[in-house]
A and B are shown apart, each in its own frame.
Chain A
Amino acid sequence: MIPEFEKFKGFSAKNLPKDEPLAPGHRACQGCGEVLALRMVMKALGRDVIVCNATGCMEIISSPFPQTAWNVPWIHVAFENAAAVASGVESARKALMRKGRIPKKHVDILAVGGDGATGDIGLQWISGAFERGHDLLYVCLDNEAYMNTGVQRSGCTPYGAMTTTSPPGKKSFGQATWKKNVPAIMAAHGIPYVATASPAYYLDLMNKVKKAALVNGPAYVHIYSPCPTGWGSAGERSVEYSKLAVETRVFPLYEVIEGRYIMSRKITKPKPVLDYFKGQRRFRHLTDEQISSIQNKVDVEYEKIIKLSEMT
């Protein structure tokens, strides 16, 4: 077990931090599940954190100069390299503390990016940072497409989903590939902590983020983040979808602690994926046959994770 976790009592409804390191007044769309998740991430981390943000929705909506929504030190350099920037911040602090040039004090280093920044274009930079063992946490806010550039498909876009570069048409049914298993790729680095989270389960999300921060070394949290604008769903239903994705087993919640898979929430009576698809324009074109093939895949993938959790 990870010793750093011992002192951590966990967040509860009673001790939720009131402070908002990510201030309101940013420019996210109404009902944005990504900024909701990010707000929870920041609440969990508090103010002793340096944020390295990849290009994407969250960077754009939070930093239109001369305004900023950030009450904590924040840096954005480019799209694919947040993990390398964070490596630099972490190395600098290590050197400067050792050389007595800044006070010795632990500060969390958070790298944060979307699914495109994380699972596609930035994979190498994250892999490098994890392999080198920097003490940082990487949070992926997965809204399942390149939203900032207008809803293009990414490797994390689910099978069948409509995006502007995976449109259904006479010869296409939408995204033709299955969602890339990014958390598994991260776990394969043998880093101490990997987790998935959903903003509907906010205490679980915050606890996982806090644990990722407490871990000595690299940690990764993959957060499901509804995007009403890109998904063609109602803004007020974002939290509901965050819940449905878990209850239908589409997005299972688990931790991988030192290689051991631990289910955060076993879904014994799953709802049909159709319940989750309803009301999302991106899935509207799917045929019954396609939906049932997706249902099969969801069941198979879920069982794989259950098996992994039973192995240890």
Chain B
Amino acid sequence: MAKRVGVEVSIAVADAVKLANADVIPAYPITPQTHIVEHLSDLVANGELDAEFVPVESEHAAMSCCCGSSAAGARTFTSSSSQGLSLMSEILYHPGPMRLPIVMVVANRALAAPISIWNDHQDIMVQRDIGWIQTFAENGQEAFDLTLHAFRVAEDRRVSLPMIVNIDGFTLSHVIEPIEILSQEEVDRFLPSFKPRVRLDVKKPVSMGPVGVPEVYTEAKMAHNEVLKASKKVVVQAWKEFADLFGREYHPVETYRVDDAEALLVTMGSISETAMTAVDAMRDKGEKVGLVRIRLWRPFPGPEFRKAVGKAQVLAVIDRCLPPGAVCGPVGEELRSLFYKVPGAPKIFSFVAGLGGRDVTVERFNEIVSKARAYAKKRPTENYEVIGVREQ
């Protein structure tokens, strides 16, 4: 039976990996991800998890080691953040087209310079196009559940793609929350053992990662893109089954008090909890405000998002990332293209907030909503606005 315990979210994530009975864990320390791999290292050292813990010499090696391990048929997990994720970058592009279902939890953190250990989404946004399935967790329970879900989806033979679960560094990774930890027997009902489509095996030799000449490169990229897009069905199915088994429901896009809403906040990750409090307060004052939260970031759930928005006329999109010189933040950009020339599309306003650990408070959400509403009447001069900047 599942047990509800007060536990640090990183530890719960590590417990999920243990319950998934991962085989190989290449790991390298970086704040704020470190507690996850430290705990896994403990579990292996104590014999509670039968896995190879590979203390590699860099994150680039961690991801390279993951590729070899997954290709050899092992359930493979790693975790990283920020500078480490950037160091992996070259290799992050490989497991997608190579169809290696590695699972990684990213404890999101800002990118240098200036160096910062605190939370935002810049580390993962520069890896937006690596071709992994990506989800964002809102709270500790979700971080635990999504980690198990990631193994299930990634390794599904129809998918066979790598998958990232994003959890906000510190604000999620380091907090203690009441989390229902599933029992082994429960997890086993949800997560079958890993049976790879192909693996490096002397009995059936295959060549993996060949050179793609111009005659095949486009087709290889297309094939990857198609399977990534098609994975949404499996992502949703697995969530449905999870709900049937354990009662917790997850969807690609979540809504909060969107009925009859005129303006909607759009968020990803743990700031959504504060956003809900802000929505409650605004609703109490009679404002027709709601919240849409994106859980599945890649493949982007376009139809689900449009449906979630309903008839709302104003979207206030919050990006935890400031791409210098760009038109606006990546989530803002995504939604603007999604609604481009769609009849009855809402007006979309882009806000950048919560960089490098700056709090996004209820007051900030109020400010964002009222600005968005004002801009709906009078077009702003800029494509986006940075919120919460110190006056001096």
Contact = CB atoms under 8 A, between A and B. Distances in A.
Contacts of A73: 200-202, 204-208
Given A76-B208, A78-B90, A92 B69 contact: yes
A77 interface: yes
Interface in B166-221: 193, 200-202, 204-213, 216, 220
Contacts of A281: none
B380 to A, nearest CB: 44
Contacts of A280: none
Interface stretch (B47-55, B148-156, B382-390): B47-55
Interface in B122-136: none
Nearest to A91: B52
Contacts of A87: 26, 54, 56, 61, 64-65, 68
B17 to A, nearest CB: 14
B61 A81 contact: yes
Contacts of B26: 87-88, 91
Contacts of A52: 68
A101 B50 CA distance: 12
Contact of B94 (A64, A78, A125): A78
B24 A92 contact: yes
Interface in B70-118: 70-74, 76, 90-91, 94, 98
Contacts of A94: 52
B210 A68 contact: yes
Contacts of B24: 88, 91-92, 95
Interface stretch (A126-134, A156-164, A285-293): A126-134
B65 A85 contact: yes
B73 A125 contact: no
A92 B205 contact: no
B354 to A, nearest CB: 34
A38 to B, nearest CB: 15
B48 to A, nearest CB: 14
B35 interface: no
A70 B72 contact: no
Contact of B23 (A65, A76, A92): A92
B54 A91 contact: yes
B207 A88 contact: no
A89 B202 contact: no
A287 B50 CA distance: 63
A98 interface: yes
B52 A63 contact: no
Contacts of A91: 24, 26, 52, 54, 65, 68-69, 74
Contacts of B205: 47, 70-74
Given A50-B72, A91-B69, A92-B76, A77 B209 contact: yes
A84 B61 contact: yes
B91 A81 contact: yes
A274 B220 CA distance: 50
B210 A76 contact: yes
Nearest to B207: A68
A70 B69 contact: no
Contact of B58 (A78, A107, A124): A124
Contacts of B23: 92, 95-96, 99
B60 interface: yes
Given A87-B65, A92-B73, A50 B202 contact: yes
Contact of A96 (B65, B74, B209): B74
Contacts of B51: 95
Of the candidates A59, A72, A88, A124, the one having the most CB atoms from chain B within 10 angstroms of its own CB is: A88
Contact of B91 (A75, A77, A86, A132): A77
Given A89-B72, A92-B23, A131-B57, A64 B200 contact: no
A92 B64 contact: no
Given A72-B202, A95-B51, A132-B55, A81 B208 contact: no
A102 interface: yes
B66 interface: yes
A112 to B, nearest CB: 14
Contacts of B52: 91-92, 94-95
Interface of B: 23-24, 26, 50-52, 54-58, 60-62, 64-74, 76, 90-91, 94, 98, 193, 200-202, 204-213, 216, 220
Query: What are the 3 tightest A-B residue pairs by CB atom distance, in nearest-first order?
Result: A88-B68, A128-B57, A92-B74
Given A74-B206, A75-B208, A85-B68, 8 more contacts: A72-B205, A73-B205, A75-B67, A75-B200, A81-B60, A91-B54, A102-B73, A132-B56
22 contacts: A48-B202, A52-B68, A64-B210, A72-B205, A73-B202, A73-B205, A74-B205, A76-B210, A81-B60, A84-B64, A87-B61, A88-B64, A88-B67, A88-B69, A88-B72, A88-B76, A92-B74, A95-B52, A101-B73, A124-B57, A125-B58, A128-B58
Interface of A: 47-50, 52, 59-60, 63-66, 68, 70-78, 80-81, 84-96, 98-99, 101-102, 107, 124-125, 127-128, 131-132
